């Protein structure tokens, strides 16, 4: 976690938006959370196992749904579970090898819960506005690029 805080491009707003994007993708398409992501202040990307690119209508709906969750001003909280309990509820494969026996779960209201060691906002309204910049599809991977415009 200290490495994450030290990264000058790390952004709690963007990281929290990534959690909301992931849960929205799960709810809309039922294909799981991103298996890879790169989160930075200016723009970020998430990669999903998928079977096609998204349509313009799907991108518009995804933007709308993510922004609706952000505007609900949901509390972002943490709880800790023992690994043997967490493994029954969450996929732990993306956690670092040295994550230990106590797993930190980040909750965004009742909308999302996910193991994570990163820094987050305390409420979703702090994220601002979410916008998908582009999507692409290649070899079973859908890439979603997004930003948090300041206007």
What CATH number has the domain bearing residue 54? 3.30.980.10
Q: What is the pTM of this model?
A: 0.90
pLDDT digits (tens, 9 = 90+) for 18-40: 999 999 999 999 999 999 999 99
pLDDT at res. 14: 96
Range of the domain at 136: 2-147
For the chain, the domain total comes to: 1
Q: Which of 6-10, 52-56, 88-92 has the highest mean pLDDT?
A: 52-56
Helix axes 12-29, 56-71, angle to 10 degrees: 120
| Residue-by-residue DSSP string for 74-115 | -BEEEEEEEHHHHTTTS--TTS-TT--SEEEEEEETTTEEEE
């Amino acid at each position: 976690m200290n490495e994450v805080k030290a990264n000058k491009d790390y952004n709690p707003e963007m990281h929290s938006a990534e959690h909301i994007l992931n849960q929205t993708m799960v709810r809309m398409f039922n294909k799981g959370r991103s298996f890879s992501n790169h989160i930075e202040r200016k723009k970020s990307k998430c990669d999903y196992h998928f079977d096609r690119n998204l349509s313009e209508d799907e991108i518009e709906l995804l933007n709308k749904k993510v922004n609706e969750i952000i505007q609900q001003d949901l509390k972002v909280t943490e709880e800790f579970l023992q690994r043997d309990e967490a493994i029954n509820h969450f996929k732990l494969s993306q956690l670092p090898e040295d994550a230990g026996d106590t797993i930190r779960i980040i909750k965004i209201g009742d909308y999302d819960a996910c193991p994570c060691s990163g820094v987050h906002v305390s409420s979703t309204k702090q994220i601002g506005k979410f916008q998908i910049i582009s999507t692409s599809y290649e070899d079973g991977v859908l890439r979603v690029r997004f930003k948090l415009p300041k206007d």
